[in-house]
Chains A and B, each alone.
Chain A
Amino acid sequence: MTTFTKNALITFLSVSVLSSAAMADADKGKKLYQKNLKETCGFTGAVFAAKYKQADWDKAFKAGTLDKKMSEACPAGKAYFESGKFKKLEQHYYDFVHDFAKDSGNIPSC
C-alpha cells in the first residue's frame, strides 16, 4: 500500500465518523424567493425580508402563521403562500427572512 493510499484511507475514515445535525438553509430560501416570488412581489428578497423584525418573523413561524405574515409583506403572493408548495418549503423561507430581517444587522458583500 503506497503512502498516498494509506493517507487517503486514514483521512476517509476520520471524516466518516463525523455525524450530522439538521441544517437550516437561508441561502436556499433566498433562491426560492428569487425564483417563485420576486416577480410577483415586485421587490428583491432583501426588501421582502426587511419588512419585519426578527421577532415578528419568529412569532409568526412559531404560531404557524408565517403564510399570513408573508402575505402581509407581499399581498400579491397570497395565493402562493397559501399553497401546499409553500408549506413544504416554509422552513427555508423562514431561515431566509430571519437571517435578513430588518434588525438582523446583516451586511451584504460585494
Chain B
Amino acid sequence: MVKQLSLVAALSLSTIVHADEAALQKQIEMLMKRIEQLEKAQGSIQQTQTTLQEMQTTMKEEQIAQSDMLSKVNAQSANDNIKWDIDFRSAIHSLDYNASTQSNTLMTNRLWLGMGSKATDDLFFYGQLAVYNYWGAQPEDIAWNDDNWRASSQPHDVDLRLRQAYFVYKFGNDWDVPMTFSAGRRAATDGFLANHREGNKKPGSPLAHITNMEVDAAMVQFDFDKVFFPGSYLKVVYGRSNDPMSSGATSSPYLTDTSTGDDTVDFLVLPMSIYNDGQNNLMAQYARITNIKGKDKRAAGTAQLGAISYQLDGLNEDVDFLNDSTLFASVAMTHTNPDGDTPILGSLENKIGYSFWAGFLFPDQITDGGRFGLEYNYGSKYWTPMTWAEDSLTGSKIATRGNAYEGYWNIPIVGKNLTAQLRYTYLDHHYSANTSYMIDPDISNLDNSQELRAFVRYQY
C-alpha cells in the first residue's frame, strides 16, 4: 500500500516538473520575442535619429542658402527705392476738319513710365516719364534730313519728357483737420470727369471742366472729412505756368525778360471736394491766373475760372445695370479782365463765358466690365477754359464754343491690364475754335471737326 502511494506521488511530481518546464520555456520564448521587438524598435529609433539629423543638416544648409539669397537681395535692393509701372498705348486717330479740308489718319504711341517711392506711410513721391509720338514723327528742332527713324539708335539729343514729379507729405493725422503738403510737377491733366473719356479709372487732381494742363506748383491740402462732410477737402495750389526768362549765354542768365511784353504767368487754384460718400461726389474749383496772354502774345490781364461738378456713381443698387452706370453734370464759368491796352479775346472789356457738360456711362452688356459713354458739352462765345493739354487731337472738346458730342466704348480685354477704347468726337463750332486768349471769338476759323480714335492699352 505504501509502495503504491509512493509511485503515485512520484508520478505526480514528475508531471508537475514537466508542466513547470513547459511554462518556463514559453516564458523564455516570449522574452526572446520581446527582446527581438525591442531590438527592432531600437533600430527604428536609431534610423529616425539618423533621418532627423539628416533633415537638420539639410535645413541648416537651406537656411544658410536662404540667408545668402536674402543678403544678395538686400544688397541688390539697397537704395533701390523706386517702383516702376508701365502704361503703353497704341492708337489710331482719324481726323476730319469739315468737308473743305482733307481727312488724315494718324497713328500714335504713348508711353508713361510711372515712378513710385514711399519713404514712410506719410511721405512719398510719384513721377511719370512720358513719350507721346506719332508714327513717322519729325523732330521739331532737328535739322533737315534728320528723321526720327534713327533718333534713339544713333547719337542724338537728350530729350526725355517729365510729365509728373511731386512729393507728398502728410502730417497732423491726429488733428481735426489733417494736412498734406506737396510740390512739383503735378497730376493736373485728365482730372475729375475727363477720366471716363480717357478710359482711366482714377481722375487726376483738378476739375477737368476748367483745368487740363501740365503745371508745376506747390499744394497744401486741408482734409475736412472729420469736421465737415464725408470726403471733403480743400487744396490750395500756387504755381507758375510761364516764365520768359533767358537761359542762354547772356550777361544776366535766368532773369525774366519782359521786353517783348511777355511776363510770368502765375496761378492760384482751389480745387475742393464738397461731398464724397463713394456714390455721390460733388466737387468745385476756383482758379485765378495772372498775366494771361492777349493780342500779340503780350501779358494782358487776369482770368478767373470756376466750376461745380457732380457725379453719381451707381444709380440704383438693386438693378445691376443701373448700379454699374454713372451719371455726371458740370457747370463752369470763365471771366477775363484786361488791365491795359492789350485786348483779351479781341476786347478790352471784361468778358464772361459759360459752359455745361453732361455725361452718362452704362454697361455695354457685351463684355465683362465694358461700358459705353455718351457726353455733351456746350460753350458760349467767350468760354475759355485752361484745357489745352486735353488729349483730343482736333482741339479741346471741353473748350468748344458751340456744341460738342462724344460717344465712346471702354473695353477690358485682359482684365485691367489690356484695355481698348473706341471714341468718336464731333465739335460744332459757333465761334472761333478755342485755342488761346489771343483770338477774337468772332473770327471764325473752323466750322466743325471730328475725330475717331481707337486704342489698345497695356497697363501693369
Interface residues, chain A, with chain B CB atoms under 8 Å away: 2-4, 7-8, 11-12, 14-15, 18-25, 27, 30-36, 38-39, 85, 105, 107-110
Contacts and interface: CB of A to CB of B under 8 A. Distances in A.
A107 B412 contact: no
Contacts of B202: 27, 109
Interface in B46-92: 83, 92
Contact of A18 (B279, B313, B411): B411
A23 B126 contact: no
By size class, the interface of chain B is: 35 or more
B278 A110 contact: no
Interface of B: 83, 92, 94, 96, 102-103, 105, 116-118, 124, 126, 166, 168, 182, 186-187, 201-202, 205, 219, 230-231, 276-279, 313-314, 317, 366-370, 409, 411-416, 420-422, 424, 450, 452, 454, 456
Contacts of A32: 278
Contacts of B102: 3
Given A4-B452, A109-B126, A21 B94 contact: no
Given A7-B105, A23-B369, A110-B168, A15 B422 contact: yes
A110 to B, nearest CB: 5
Nearest to B202: A27
Contacts of A4: 94, 96, 103, 450, 452
Contacts of B231: 34
Contacts of A19: 367, 413
A38 B278 contact: yes
Contacts of A108: 124, 168
Contact of B414 (A21, A25, A85): A21
Contacts of B415: 21-24
Q: Is the interface of B mostly helix, strand, loop or mixed?
A: strand
A107 B103 contact: no
A35 B416 contact: no
Q: Nearest 10 CB-CB pairs, A to B? A: A34-B278, A23-B369, A35-B278, A20-B367, A107-B116, A7-B94, A31-B278, A3-B103, A4-B96, A11-B454
Contact of A20 (B124, B368, B452): B368
B281 to A, nearest CB: 9
A102 to B, nearest CB: 10
B279 A20 contact: no
A58 B209 CA distance: 40
B234 to A, nearest CB: 14
Nearest to B424: A8
A8 B124 CA distance: 44
A15 B276 contact: no
A23 B420 CA distance: 13
Given A11-B94, A35-B278, A22 B368 contact: yes
Contacts of B219: 110
A94 to B, nearest CB: 14
A20 B182 contact: no
Contacts of B279: 31, 35
Contacts of A107: 83, 116-118, 124, 126
A7 B369 CA distance: 27
Given A4-B452, A8-B424, A107-B116, A20 B369 contact: yes
Contacts of A33: 278
A110 B126 contact: yes
25 contacts: A3-B102, A3-B103, A7-B94, A11-B92, A14-B454, A19-B367, A20-B368, A20-B411, A20-B412, A21-B413, A21-B415, A23-B415, A24-B416, A25-B416, A27-B201, A27-B202, A31-B314, A33-B278, A34-B277, A34-B278, A35-B278, A35-B279, A36-B278, A107-B124, A110-B126
B130 to A, nearest CB: 15
A14 B450 CA distance: 19
Contacts of B409: 15
Given A18-B413, A23-B368, A34-B230, 8 more contacts: A2-B96, A7-B94, A7-B105, A11-B454, A35-B314, A38-B277, A107-B83, A110-B182
Given A21-B415, A23-B415, A34 B276 contact: yes
Contacts of A20: 366-370, 411-413
